[in-house]
Amino acid sequence: MTTLTEADALDGLRDALGLLKDREQVAERLLASSAKHSFDPDKELDWEAPFEEGKWFWPPELVSLYDTPLWKRMSEEQRILLSQHEAAALASLGIWFEIILMQLLVRHIYDKSATSAHVRYALTEIEDECRHSKMFARLISQGGTPWYPVSRAHQHLGRLFKTISTTPGSFTATLLGEEVLDWMQRLTFPDERVQPLIRGVTRIHVVEEARHVRYAREELRRQMVTAPRWSQEFTRVTSGEFARVFSVAFINPEVYTNVGLDKKEAMAQVKESAHRREVMQTGAKRLTDFLDDIGVLRGVGRRLWKSSGLLA
């Protein structure tokens, strides 16, 4: 039995050589980590504590309007209110992603041996996502903010996608849903300007999501080598299309109306904002570097990624 450090060193070597890791070994390690670091948000977090006056619900630099002319005209109170509604909208989006992901995982394991570590880990990840979705829902209602569903068109697109997507397509979409939000959450949980409850929620999510990202990356890396050529090509194009859907769904325009702003004006300013573009591209960088490395960002797919605004 190798120690964790030896195993990590071997993984590093495999990465450097572009070799695939053993599926069962990856899953065994993720199962061991899940056994050690999993949280029950209902018990772990203080849901009774009232929100603290003057604290943000999302780091201001990550709020969509930050640094725009409209932002400069807003009072501090209105900016904080917008951060609260955007946090609720992102939590709603997170639940949408997680529910799609749960179905993708169920489909992924449907015809695989239930005794394999790979399937047992997928079931563990579904448990994680169930807790996360309940945690996000509780967070949204805690602040009296509304539930922010995605547009009807995206709702239908998601329904179709989670029913028919191919395996590499599923894992590409998973990473897109997880990595950009994860990048934002990594900036949120250590930020002392942010409400303690939001910091607690994002901390739990970051710890547990790290395993999900690992599982999806390893599987996608394998799929981009082993899947039939048509399926690899299909993944390139569909992933570019997901990126376009994702970048639109990432902002729910209703948040502006709900904090007393003009929806059209706000959307136009976000579109023009160089700061926002940089935030989104930086947030997606770790993912786009990885996708580039395993050959997803080529041809038409790459052009679609660029037009999504997530790839420079």
Q: How far is the CB of 37 from Fe ion (least distance, A)?
A: 14
The least distance separating Fe ion from the CB of residue 172, rounded to whole angstroms, comes to 14
Instruction: Give the interface segment with Fe ion, choosing from 10-18, 37-45, 126-134, 153-161 (CB under 5 A).
Output: 126-134
Shorter beta-carbon distance to Fe ion: residue 133 or 145: 133
Q: Supply 220's token pair.
A: 């996608």
Burial (CB count <10 Å: 0-12, 13-18, 19+), residue 4: exposed
Nearest by Cα to 179 from 104, 287, 99: 287
Looking only at residues 199 through 218 of this chain, which bind Fe ion when binding is defined by CB under 5 A?
A: 209, 212
CB 301 within 8 A of CB 240: yes
In the complex with Fe ion, the residue whose CB is nearer, 185 or 258, is: 185
- Out of 132, 199, 221, 302, the only residue in the binding site for Fe ion (CB under 5 A) is 132
Residue with tokens 């670091």: 37
Query: Total number of residues binding Fe ion (CB under 5 A)?
Result: 3
Question: Is 131 an interacting residue with respect to Fe ion (CB under 5 A)?
Answer: no
CB of 79 to Fe ion, least distance (A): 27
Buried b (16+ CB within 10 A) or exposed e, 51-81: beeebbbbbbebbbbbbbebbeebeeeebbb
**Cβ of residue 125: shortest distance to Fe ion, in angstroms?**
7
> With respect to Fe ion, which residue has the nearer C-beta, 130 or 268?
130
Q: Least separation, in Å, of the C-beta of 213 and Fe ion? A: 8
Distance between CA 203 and CA 287 in Å, rounded?
Answer: 20
Hey, is 194 helix, strand or coil?
strand
Binding residues vs Fe ion (CB under 5 A): 132, 209, 212
